Amino acid sequence: GQQLNQSPQSMFIQEGEDVSMNCTSSSIFNTWLWYKQEPGEGPVLLIALYKAGELTSNGRLTAQFGITRKDSFLNISASIPSDVGIYFCAGQPPTNSGYALNFGKGTSLLVTP
């Protein structure tokens, strides 16, 4: 499966700042998902997007499914130290391996108090 282009690779910010990361693909996807992973644990789902143009929020997190179906972004507002972790985008292409996901390489977020 295709690996998605996720950027930035890492971010080092101060508490209270807003964060933005994005993911692009050369082909279209039916679903975009954003996960957060902490060291030694499995990814935890943050937001799921199922329709082009869809904008969804989960607390301080907001994500959008791009109109072209080839991109998605995740914003985190007013970051706090517990936001630290690796954020992954994942997409589900129209014809794929039994709904298996294609993943980006992750954005590592560090937040200083």
Partner 1 sequence: DGGITQSPKYLFRKEGQNVTLSCEQNLNHDAMYWYRQDPGQGLRLIYYSQIVNDFQKGDIAEGYSVSREKKESFPLTVTSAQKNPTAFYLCASSSRTGTQPQHFGDGTRLSIL
Residue of the chain from 4, 11, 63, 76 that contacts partner 1 (CB under 8 A): 4
Among 29, 43, 69, 111, binds partner 1 (CB under 8 A): 43
Bridge partner residues of 19 (DSSP) = 76
Q: Which residue has 């964060």 as its token pair?
A: 19
Task: Write each residue from 6 to 35 as x if it is in contact with partner 1 (CB under 8 A), else as -, in one continuous string.
Answer: x-----------------------xx-x-x
The C-alpha atoms of residue 7 and residue 105 are separated, in whole angstroms, by 9
Q: For residue 1, which of 105, 71, 110, 96 has the smallest C-alpha distance?
A: 96
Q: Where do contacts with partner 1 occur on this chain (CB under 8 A)? A: 1, 3-4, 6, 30-31, 33, 35, 40-45, 48, 88, 90, 92, 97-101, 103-106
